[in-house]
Structure 1
Amino acid sequence: MIRLLIILVLVFGTAVLAPRFISETDFVQFVVGNHTVELSIISFISLSIILIFAFFALEWLIRKLYRIFTGTSSWFGGRASKKAEQALEQGLIAYLLQDWKQANNAFNKTEALTHSQLVRNLYAANVALKLGELAQAQDYLATSEEQTNHSKQSDPVKLYQAQMQFELHQYQRALDTITDYLEKNKKDPAALRLKLHCLMALKEYASIQPALKKAEKYNAFTSEELINFKQQYYLAMFSKSANEQGLAAAKQQWQDIPKADKKETALLGAWLMVLAKQHEDQEVEALMLEQLKHNNIEGLIQIATDLPKVSTPTLCKELQKRLQKSPDNRHLMILLGLVACLNEDFELARKALQPHQAQLSLAAQHRLAEALAQTNDLNGAVAIYQQTQAVKSLPSQVPAN
């Protein structure tokens, strides 16, 4: 651009000053050894402009020849670059369509790209991961990390890199990356969620509570996501304490959690799961009877579906008494069947659950299948298992009946 401006100034200056110089009789004289060259001023200026253009042309030709002979360019370089750009476009479209094999083939043809390498490597790493090519995914990710260090756009891609590291089970690296990202993006919901999942994977339970409070403050989770995460967190924390320090330590942790959390059915279920695994049957039954007094029937159904085998005879009798008063209460009948499974009274479980099979969750249907198998109805048990497996294989967009 600067060269072009200089040329334009010379051209327009010549056009303006030419009339004056033409009327003058002055000459420019060059003496080289015994040779003398005389030029008029207008001829000298015209020759200077021609020489400048000649110099630029010679410079371009030298650069072109240098690139050809040093192998830094080729006659087909432009064509290769264009093909690489088309492959990148095809790969991105295949990625959006979740056609991982086609996307992987396309990304492998984009090595000739001189730009967008960071984006290409991030997408290629994710595609390789989807195809189970872990080594290839790690190579792409490592390359993208090197490129990020020299990129002005490092912050926007750090979150994606941390997600990829997490999916490749590089939990500590993912935590370091996301912690660095959060220094400048303290309120980013996705980053706060990912940090919590990294801490969970690393079993750093002591660091989860403050991070969880921050995530709740900035609405990083939906209400359902928050309950699910807390359930996993409390279950893992209580189980670790009970196994390593004894049940008393786990009970103290249960007492220390917020009262609002204790009222959540899923979180209570996590605590009952720990008690059941520690064979604290009486305490499990006492807490379930308390929920029954508060008529939390649907909550108890959810809890009983997930609990391991536990002896709760008093609860079973109490449910039977209630059913004598309300024999058409479907939820009470389902709860009785699930509790009977916990007590290994499979005949009672079959009679209570089988009439309401259509209303059972997948997990509750597995309980029914267990009861059928234990009462020698193997065909009925196999039919239920096949049906539940078929429902699980349905796409997520199709609701399970």
Structure 2
Amino acid sequence: MIRWILAFIIVAISLAASHFLIDEKGYVLISVGNTTVEGTIISFLVWAGICFTVLYFAFITLRALLRMYGKTTGFWRGKKELKAQQVWQQGLWASINDDAAAVQSTLNKGQAPEEWQDAQQALLAKAALQQGDKAQALAHLQNVSDAGQSKVPKLWLDANQNEQALALLDAPMAEKKPTQAAMSSYLAGLLQAEKHAELATAINQHYKRLDWSQAQWQAFMARWFTANAEQAIGQFEQLPKALKVQSEALYMQSQASAGQWQNLLPTLQKWLKKGQYQAFADVVVHAKNPDVKLRTSLQDALKKHPEQPQLLFAMGCLANAAGEYELAAKVFDNCQLTELDKTHLKPVLNSYEQTQQFQKAYLLLAAK
């Protein structure tokens, strides 16, 4: 553009100089309607130069002001975005470290970046639940946008809003391939809402898709059987074969705890006949009340195999469940108790405490 301006100036100077060479000033006449403007070429050139100079400096000044404004605005905007990013990162790390108080104090200071504001509300809800403030948690969950609600059903479950959580999961579970998170939350929601029939159906439909470890399945099944012990036999029979195998011990333990011996007696008697004494003891250790037929069967097996420590231990467990603490304590005195884990120690410790043999109980605990 500079070249064009220079060319224009050179042409203008040449035209003006030509008049000096011929000794003519040169006149210009401009007529617009009833208005006329006349003058020499030199005067018009001077005015044109002045106007151009004024416009040029006005343009430079305006551009400088606009740039200054843009930089200033960008600075404050960038500072605000940086602060939002810092707040979000600090709150996220606090949540990773399970520091609920730090999450609340940090994320309540300001807004996270726009794309993470739903996650901010979810973290605040989780922190409130960790501190036992369900009302505050619900307030944060309600601030999550409609688009983000499908991502927080577990928090609704933790806030005891089972129906809300299951309603949020209807759409994700209706998809051809539900996500792992959706399926896990759906099963947990059905269990928490005590919808056992629907839960059995859902397990049969989705257990192959769920990427759960054996430990996760066992923990879930233990909760399910314990929550509905009276109908556990029906739930167990509905399970897929693969889950039945890994859940059988948990099912029987839950039934023993609930005193549902009528559902277990045939299997336990079969185990005694086949010499599966450890499996038998692993179930009987959970006994909370006695069963005459089972005790008779155990006594018969113990007479035939008095050398089996598992049978002796099981007899002590049944005596403890029957309230015969003196007998149970004497039986346990003859067992290898140091090899038992904490679950198997419970009836032992109870019989010692009931018979005021606190020193024995203390020594057992100290050895673990």
Instruction: Bin the TM-score by the shorter chain.
Output: 0.7 to 0.9
Contact 1:301 / 1:335 at 8 angstroms: preserved in 2? yes
Deviation of residue 309 (structure 1)? Answer: 0.5
Rate the CA distance shift 1:210–1:257 in 2: closer, same or farther, 3 A: closer
* Aligned pair partner of 1:229 in 208, 216, 220: 220
CA distance in 2, matches of 1:114, 1:185: 31
Contact 2:153 / 2:166 at 8 angstroms: preserved in 1? yes
Rate the CA distance shift 1:282–1:162 in 2: closer, same or farther, 3 A: closer
Segments of 5+ residues of structure 1 without an aligned counterpart are 1-13, 68-74, 242-249, 389-399
- After TM superposition, the structure 1 stretch with the greater mean CA deviation from structure 2, 348-357 or 43-52, is 43-52
* Aligned pair partner of 2:348 in 333, 345, 368: 368
Rate the CA distance shift 1:323–1:340 in 2: closer, same or farther, 3 A: farther
Residue matched to 1:167: 158
- SS of aligned partner of 1:132: coil
* Aligned pair partner of 2:300 in 313, 318, 324: 318
* Aligned pair partner of 2:250 in 262, 266, 269: 266
CA distance in 2, matches of 1:257, 1:234: 12
Task: Decide which structure has the larger Cα Rg and report it.
Answer: 2
Residue matched to 1:198: 189
Counterpart AA for 2:104: N
Contact 2:150 / 2:169 at 8 angstroms: preserved in 1? yes
Contact 2:290 / 2:321 at 8 angstroms: preserved in 1? yes
Contact 1:316 / 1:340 at 8 angstroms: preserved in 2? no
Contact 2:187 / 2:199 at 8 angstroms: preserved in 1? yes
Residue matched to 2:289: 309
* Aligned pair partner of 2:8 in 13, 21, 24: 21
Deviation of residue 212 (structure 1)? Answer: 1.0
Rate the CA distance shift 1:352–1:323 in 2: closer, same or farther, 3 A: farther
Residue matched to 1:392: none
Does residue 288 (structure 1) correspond to residue 278 (structure 2)? The answer is: no
Deviation of residue 128 (structure 1)? Answer: 2.2
Does residue 377 (structure 1) correspond to residue 368 (structure 2)? The answer is: no
Deviation of residue 197 (structure 1)? Answer: 0.6
- SS of aligned partner of 1:217: coil
Deviation of residue 83 (structure 1)? Answer: 5.0
Name the % identity. 19
Deviation of residue 199 (structure 1)? Answer: 0.7
Contact 1:288 / 1:315 at 8 angstroms: preserved in 2? no
TM-score (norm 1): 0.67
Contact 2:252 / 2:264 at 8 angstroms: preserved in 1? no
Deviation of residue 200 (structure 1)? Answer: 0.9
Tell me the matched-pair count.
Answer: 342
- SS of aligned partner of 1:110: coil
TM-score (norm 2): 0.73
Does residue 189 (structure 1) correspond to residue 171 (structure 2)? The answer is: no
Residues 345-360 of structure 1 aligned to structure 2 (within 5 Å)? 345-354=324-333, 355-360=335-340
Segments of 5+ residues of structure 2 without an aligned counterpart are 16-27, 38-42
- SS of aligned partner of 2:207: helix
Q: Deviations over 1:277-329 (max 9, x none)?
A: 5xxx56643331112223333322222122320223213303422442xx2x4
Rate the CA distance shift 1:257–1:211 in 2: closer, same or farther, 3 A: closer
Counterpart AA for 1:128: A
